[in-house]
Structures are given as C-alpha cells and as structure tokens.
Amino acid sequence: MRAGGVLFVLTALILPLPATADGSRLDAILQRGVLRVGTTGDYRPFTALDKATGAYSGFDIDLARSLADALGVKVEFEPTSWPNLARDFEAGAFDIAMGGVSVTLERAKKGLFSTPYLREGKTAISRCADAQKFATLEAIDRPGVKVIANPGGTNERFDRGHLHAAEIVVYPDNVTIFDKLAAGDADLMITDASETRFQQKQHPGVLCAIHPDKPFDFAEKAYWMPEDPALKAFVDQWLHLSMENGSFAAIYAKWFE
C-alpha cells in the first residue's frame, strides 16, 4: 500500500519468535525494565530533540514508545550523532537505533536490521525557483553548483560517490541546514525523499522536493539492533502487527500527511 507517495514494506512471512538464550539482549531489556533507544534528534520528522526541554519527538520516537509499551518496559532515549552512530552502536550505548536509519551493508556487518518499514531513496531539494535546473545528477554535477550536506551519514556518502564537479559544502547542524538552503547558502541538498517532502511542507513556496516519487537510488529504513535474534524477532513481530492493526498508519499520518 501507499501513503503520501511512500511505499510501506510489508513482510508476508513472519518467523516464529525463537526461544531467548541466557544473556540475550531481549532478556536484558526485560530484566532492566528499560528499552534504550539511540537516536540523533536532528532528523525531522523521524527524530527531533528540543534542547530547551530535553524532550524528543518524531515519527520514530512515537514508534519507539509503542515498541516499549509492547515490551512492557519504559523507554530511554540515548543521544548519538550520525558520525558517531556506528561507534556508539558497537560500544553498546543503546539497545536499538531508531530515527530514520537507512539500511546499509556496512551497518549490516555490525548488527541486525528489522523488517524495513519505509522504502525510498535519495533525491534533491532546492529553492522552488531553481527546482527545474536539478532534475538529474548530470545537471547537478557541474562546476559552480553548491550541494550542502550534513556530515557523516548516507547523504554525504551519496554526494561524494556521485558528484565530482559540483562543490560539496558540509554543514554540521542538521537541524538548521534547510534554513541555510532556503537562505541561498547552497543550491540544493540531496537527501531522503521522505525528508524532502517534510521540508517542503516546512518551507512552503520556498523549498521544493524534486521528483521524490522517482529518487536517484533505492533505499530502505529499518531499526538497527545488535546481533540478538530474539530481539530482532520481537521487533519484527511488533512491527508486523502495528502495520496490520492500523497503529503504524496512524503514526505515519500524524507526521507525513
């Protein structure tokens, strides 16, 4: 099914929940009574941190609370950043990473992904007056074109892998990066199609998503966990039931529609 132009990835077959082994991550969460969720807090609408109050909000924040409720535990949000996400993950700083995390092979080497919950890809967003100029990578990758990127994540990696003539401008604050783009400090940004749709709504008539329904590549978002099959099986089953009973769709509508 489709909602807002985004394809939900549903799993037809959910494997039975295996018995947990002694010392599993799932056991530790249940015994602790707390699910520790690693999140960057700077990737709206998936995760956002209000620095004044310390409160998190967003699509994946709501789903993290839903997952904690399903487990019967409390949720604690552990701050991380895109450049440090893998390091914090390997250090055991949290039980699961949530907040618009893209599935990559490098991340898959270090842990397990849940069933993907969102299918999309990279596309461009620019000031609306310039949107027709940047419909293709060939049109973007020209001398004199400035492409702004947040450091350390899949956006910067995509830019450096595909752009050779354009100037890549790395800007460290993912919260205000679209304001810089709107102000004319760069010509465009290449990011996930879901984010371009959201930021277009936040900057109506100023920023325009460029063909978000036909992104430059294929990508999926999922939840990233340590190699504990019991925890993955539980998360997959919770996600499957959430999609079937309408709770996932209700949270999606809150943030994307």
CATH of the domain at 71: 3.40.190.10
Average pLDDT rounded to a whole number, residues 234-241? 98
As a whole number of angstroms, the distance between CA 18 and CA 228 comes to 11
Average pLDDT rounded to a whole number, residues 55-71? 98
Q: Which of 210, 231, 247 is the last residue of a domain?
A: 210
Average pLDDT rounded to a whole number, residues 15-37? 77
Among all chains, which residue has been given the structure tokens 């990559």?
Answer: 104
- 132 and 112 inside one domain: no
Average pLDDT rounded to a whole number, residues 47-53? 95
Average pLDDT rounded to a whole number, residues 196-220? 95
Averaged confidence pLDDT in the chain:
91
- 75 and 141 inside one domain: no
Helix (H, G, I), strand (E, B) or coil at 42: strand
pLDDT digit string, tens, across residues 105-152: 999 999 999 999 999 999 999 999 999 999 999 999 999 999 999 998
What pLDDT score does 22 carry? 55
- 100 and 224 inside one domain: yes
Among 152, 238, 195, 224, which Cα is nearest to 48's? 195
pLDDT over threshold 50, residue 6: no
Domain holding 230, by residue range, is 2-119+219-256
Looking at the structure of the chain, the number of domains it has is: 2
- 97 and 178 inside one domain: no
